[in-house]
Amino acid sequence: MGSNDSDWCNYKQLVLSLHNDEECVRFLQEKGILHTNRVCKGGRDMKLRFRKNGNIYWICQFVECIQYVGVRKDTWIYPSRLPLIDIILFIYGWCYEWTSIKWCERELNISRKAVVDWNNYLREVCSLKLLHSSKKIGGDNTTVEIYESLFNPRKYNLGKTQSQQWVIGGICRETKEVFLHLIPDRKKETVLPIVEECVLPGTKIYTDEHKAYEEIYKLGYDHHTVNHSQNFVDPTIGAHTQIERWWRSSKERTKGQCRTRRDMLDSYMTEYLWRQSLHGKEPFAEILKDIATFYPPK
């Protein structure tokens, strides 16, 4: 399988092409997710070795050196011990919204915890992509939905989590354009300048009922609210917000995760915005490109 992102493949073709560890490593190298070469502490080129027990590592064979480095070390997939084929197929399945706990346990033999973790890792990639590509959206005769979420990133290369970070995001219903910004808190003094920076005047805006938005109408917006904790529908006009409609259609993937509606909406917000921002592009190629962009091998 070539490294050109325009090379599209279906699930069967992908499975057939990844018939051993060497092919899986080559695929991830071509996509920029694994190292294509490494040097030892002495500055010598290392060789990649594959063992029958599944161990894959870089080695310097110089007699006075003999250094080993696992193939996953200093990459996005470290420290996961899932087989590389399972990681690749999970990413593919996630792109097409297959990765329910039931599907992953049956098809990939992945544990419930790993399913939740890997869904979150991919949503983190979505967040980083959106944070680096936001632009001003909306305008006259358009509707923008605004939502806040807790962004809980992994600490790169350690697999641990940093402190939680609020983000604010929005999507224009008509154009599918999106924005996403990190915010230190949900105070009015923080939120309203971000909205003004990201949304054009004259836009119809939907938000939750948080008090930070009480004076948003003063900025020239037609403001409406939805109570996310009680409704999936605006009680005045009977309209679902886009993210909630998508969340409901994707509810199979949330079964067994034992989380509240609000928790799930928080988790899904950046994934939803990322998917909407694709505008017809192949999601598997795009998420692999985004992983390589924001988590290149170190």
In a domain, 34, yes or no: no
Is residue 169 scored above 80 in pLDDT? yes
Is residue 37 scored above 60 in pLDDT? yes
In a domain, 220, yes or no: yes
Which residue's structure tokens are 């990681």? 87
In a domain, 116, yes or no: no
In a domain, 241, yes or no: yes
Is residue 238 scored above 80 in pLDDT? no
Is residue 160 scored above 50 in pLDDT? no
Percent of the chain scoring above 90 in pLDDT: 55
In a domain, 53, yes or no: no
Is residue 109 scored above 80 in pLDDT? yes
Q: How far apart are CA 142 and CA 94, in angstroms?
A: 30
In a domain, 190, yes or no: yes
Q: How confident is the model at residue 274 (pLDDT cuts 50, 70, 90)?
A: very high
Is residue 5 scored above 80 in pLDDT? no
CATH number at residue 269: 3.30.420
Q: What is the dihedral of CA 31, 278, 241, 245, to 10 degrees?
A: -60
DSSP 3-state of 231: coil
Strand ranges across the sheet with 47-50: 47-50, 56-59, 68-70
The per-residue pLDDT for range 183-206, each reduced to its tens digit, is: 999 999 999 999 999 999 999 999
Is residue 252 scored above 70 in pLDDT? no
Percent of the chain scoring above 70 in pLDDT: 80
Please give the average per-residue pLDDT across 7-17, as a whole number: 85
The number of distinct structural domains making up the chain is 1
Q: What is the dihedral of CA 263, 286, 274, 185, to 10 degrees?
A: 70
The residue segments making up the domain with residue 265 are 129-286
Is residue 29 scored above 70 in pLDDT? yes
Is residue 266 scored above 60 in pLDDT? no
Is residue 12 scored above 60 in pLDDT? yes
pLDDT of residue 96: 92
Q: How confident is the model at residue 231 (pLDDT cuts 50, 70, 90)?
A: very low
| 73-87, 115-129, 161-175, range with the lowest pLDDT | 161-175
Q: Tell me which residue of 95, 49, 44, 91 sits closest to 69, measured CA to CA.
A: 49
Is residue 51 scored above 50 in pLDDT? yes
| 90-99, 177-186, 227-236, range with the lowest pLDDT | 227-236
Is residue 1 scored above 80 in pLDDT? no
Please state, as a whole number, how many other Cβ atoms lie within 10 Å of the Cβ of residue 67.
17
DSSP string, 81-140: -S-HHHHHHHHHHHHTT---HHHIIIII---HHHHHHHHHHHHHHHHHHHHTS---B--T
pLDDT of residue 152: 63
Is residue 128 scored above 80 in pLDDT? yes
pLDDT of residue 3: 40
Q: How confident is the model at residue 216 (pLDDT cuts 50, 70, 90)?
A: very high
Give the chain's mean pLDDT: 84
Percent composition of the chain: helix, strand, coil (DSSP 3-state, to 5): 40, 20, 45
In a domain, 86, yes or no: no
Q: Are strands 143-151 and 165-172 parallel, antiparallel or unpaired?
A: antiparallel
Is residue 133 scored above 60 in pLDDT? yes
Which residue's structure tokens are 């092409």? 17
Pick the residue with more confidence: 229 or 216?
A: 216
Q: How confident is the model at residue 214 (pLDDT cuts 50, 70, 90)?
A: very high
In a domain, 269, yes or no: yes
161, 181 Cβ separation under 8 angstroms: no
